[in-house]
Chain A
Amino acid sequence: MITKIKRLRIVRTNSTKLKYKLEEIIIIFFLFPALALFITFQVIPTLWAIYFSFTDIALYGKKLFEYKFIGLNNYEKLFSDEIFWKSFSVTFEYCTFSLLLRFTLGFIAALYITSRLFKGKAIIAGLLIIPYTLPGAVIPYMWISMLDSRYGTLNKVLMLLGLPPQSWLYERAMQSVVMVNCWSGYVLAMLILASAIKSIPDEYYEVCEIYGASRLFKFTKITLPLIKWPLVLSLILIFKEDIDDFTYVFILTEGGPNYRTELLSLYAYHKAFAFYELGAGCAVGLIIMIIVFLLTLAQIKISRIM
């Protein structure tokens, strides 16, 4: 009798194992197309870029094909290049100001569209999302016509108000690109935070109201603590989005004047396309990738806590 049961158990275990194996095969089968695409278009180019960053490959001339391995030379050259460090600090400045503005505006917008005090929020929320839906390459062109120092709308408005016109794309180049970035970029924080605020149960607020708590109390003691992690997540996501920004500065200022808006991504582009030093461009790309990778790790960790 006991051996029969044992045998039955073995048969059952074997069939369960087989079932799991089959499931695994099915999962791999369904994952395969996405995995193949991911490997072809993400992993392989990344590995190539990493390899190129250790070579003297050029985008042009003999060295396009006759390049050689040069070890850490590209990195040594980068770290001794003052423009690289300037670009690094410019990127940090850009990310910091963008982060502050995008986050603050996004948070205010999120509070507004989730508030119970105002009417017509659905329409306003729809309008607020519009900038985020515009293609990235259209936004800077639209802003060029606004920021032009002679014919731009912004200066015309300033002059109507009796204020002096501003040199937006030269004297205020960094402020201008940050402003353009924030104009559309605040929506990301708004969406994350609005959904986080919406997920707080109404009962918490109702209890507060019963006890006559002030709005400030509700905000500081309920809303803020309960959206703590989405707040941090949105900060990381914004920073991650901004650190490899390219389109706005490329179209608005091309990194000028005097490298004042030369973000790392643009520096990499100039290395690869103006000086044709593809290897050096890839080295900059790899540095950006490492930063983004670290931020992604933090993001994943926070997502798990949430």
Chain B
Amino acid sequence: MSGGKLLIIAIIIAIIIIAGAVYWYMEATKPKVVKLSLYTKAGLWAEFIREMGILESFKERMLRERNIVVEVELITKPHKGYRDTLVADFAAGTVGDVVWIGDTEIPGLAEAGLLLDLTPYVEKWDRWAKFYPVAKKLVTVNGKVYAIPFETAPLVIFYRKDLFKEAGIPIPWQPKNWENLYKTAMIIKEKLPDKIPINPMYGIELPIYAAGGTLYDPKDGKLIVKSDAILNLFRYYYNMFHKYKVAPVKMWLEKWDTRTLFQKGELAITIDGVWCWAEKWGPGMPHEIPNRDEVVGFAMFPKMEGGFLSMTGTYAYAIYAKTKYPDLAWELVKELVKPEYMAEWGYRTSHLVPAEDAIIGKYAEDPFLKWAAKVMEYSVPKPLIPEVKKYLTILNTVVYDYLLPKALSPEECMELFAELAVKEIGKDKVKALPPYTLGS
């Protein structure tokens, strides 16, 4: 073979090798494409994510930091019935990689092994130390963290200053105990007979805690179905609806829209979540009160015999345990809960931020949010055990189906509640606190 031919062959081989190396290099450095999904509520929630460009900045960050092209699909579900849809989608395995979840759903889904244990992730995450203890409790089950809180929302009292003035009640107003609350409502009933004095409930279990009780004893893992506090819860509702008649029974039985009543100045006092301030009565919202700051006052819910108390819940981001990309899903969660997004969401919807580093910008300046942050100091979380949902459903049944329409006495209600709880939850999972017994 002549030297010329050899040279040509060598050149061809060299070209092939170089081309292969270039191809290999290009393939190796080509970004990997990964698909993630984010499951959240439609409307305000999804719009916020879109408007803030959260997914875009996450994509950019992933491309920059990890050389990965992430396509994030936004799965949205209607606000009404969201919790039921979420649980059903988890059971069916059709939920997204990252999920917007309420604290009530966390324990059961964690127990079913459907939520990823985020403890190893938060242990290496500096920001976790900035989250408030109450917010952490709302997402921690048996010592394991299953979600990262995005908002918290304690319950408070809102009142109409204009109606209070008409009734001659001094403002600012802050009831010191339940008697105080009853008396104020009775003054309104007497002075303004065409107005509804009070809507005494949002959720149902707040008075148990305000009467010094609790739902669950972590020592023996049992739910409490008979106690002085539970009796006082029924007394509280009985007094409001039947004894003092300051809250019309029909308001709850006919499902009157209490937010509309409050907006229209027909309801003087209402117990509701802090989010009502902006999300319901704020500018451009469905129950907008144009002169809100002038006519709406706020106060903390009093304990039965003095002091203050609130209950708080959270909505958080969790990761589906069967996700193919847990690390990327965690990165997405970290993006979603950035302080600037928390603060903006909190300011827009008057939800409280669950982390101290998110008290920034307009959120930090808002007088209502500053006050609401104090309420957090008095807030207790619901116990995170799966049976609590059943427990609250039964409690609701007793109040809505027996106490309200049939005016069953508080003692009868507690008996009935215990009986139903034993039947539905199981005798081994509930207990009565002395002096009460389950059999009595």
Residues of A within 8 A of B (CB): 59-62, 64-65, 148-151, 167-170, 256-259, 273-276, 278
Chain A residues positioned under 8 Å from B393 (CB to CB)? 274-275
For the complex, what is the distance from the CA of A257 to the CA of B251, rounded to whole Å? 13
10 nearest interchain CB pairs?
A: A60-B108, A61-B386, A64-B112, A258-B401, A170-B254, A61-B108, A170-B253, A61-B111, A273-B84, A274-B393
Check A59 against B91 for contact (C-beta < 8 Å).
yes
Query: For the complex, is B407 an interface residue (Cβ under 8 Å from A)?
Result: no
Check B254 against A62 for contact (C-beta < 8 Å).
no
Chain B residues positioned under 8 Å from A167 (CB to CB)? 250, 254
How would you classify the secondary structure of chain B's contact residues: helix, strand, loop or mixed? Answer: helix
Chain B residues positioned under 8 Å from A148 (CB to CB)? 256-257
> In residues 399-440 of chain B, which contact A (Cβ within 8 Å)?
400-402, 405-406, 424
Check B390 against A257 for contact (C-beta < 8 Å).
no
Check A257 against B424 for contact (C-beta < 8 Å).
no
- Contact flag A62-B111 (CB < 8 Å), given A149-B250, A274-B393: yes
Q: Chain A's nearest CB lies how many Å from the CB of B437? A: 25
Check A65 against B256 for contact (C-beta < 8 Å).
no
Q: Chain B's nearest CB lies how many Å from the CB of A255? A: 10
Q: Which of B112, B250, B260, B405 has the most CB of A within 10 A?
A: B112
Check A169 against B112 for contact (C-beta < 8 Å).
no
Q: Chain A's nearest CB lies how many Å from the CB of B117? A: 16
> Per-residue CB proximity of B227-267 to A under 8 Å, as 1/0?
00000000000000000000000100111110011000000
Check B87 against A256 for contact (C-beta < 8 Å).
no
| Chain A residue with the shortest CB-CB distance to B396 | A274
Chain A residues positioned under 8 Å from B204 (CB to CB)? none
Query: For the complex, is B88 an interface residue (Cβ under 8 Å from A)?
Result: yes
- Contact flag A257-B405 (CB < 8 Å), given A60-B109, A167-B254, A273-B84: yes
Chain B residues positioned under 8 Å from A256 (CB to CB)? 253, 400-401
Extra contacts besides A60-B112, A148-B256 (9): CB < 8 Å:
A60-B87, A60-B108, A149-B250, A150-B256, A256-B253, A256-B401, A258-B405, A276-B386, A276-B389
For the complex, what is the distance from the CA of A237 to the CA of B30, rounded to whole Å? 61
Check B108 against A257 for contact (C-beta < 8 Å).
no
Chain A residues positioned under 8 Å from B203 (CB to CB)? none
Q: Which of B253, B256, B386 has the most CB of A within 10 A?
A: B253
Query: For the complex, is B113 an interface residue (Cβ under 8 Å from A)?
Result: yes
Chain B residues positioned under 8 Å from A60 (CB to CB)? 87, 91, 105, 108-109, 111-112, 386, 389
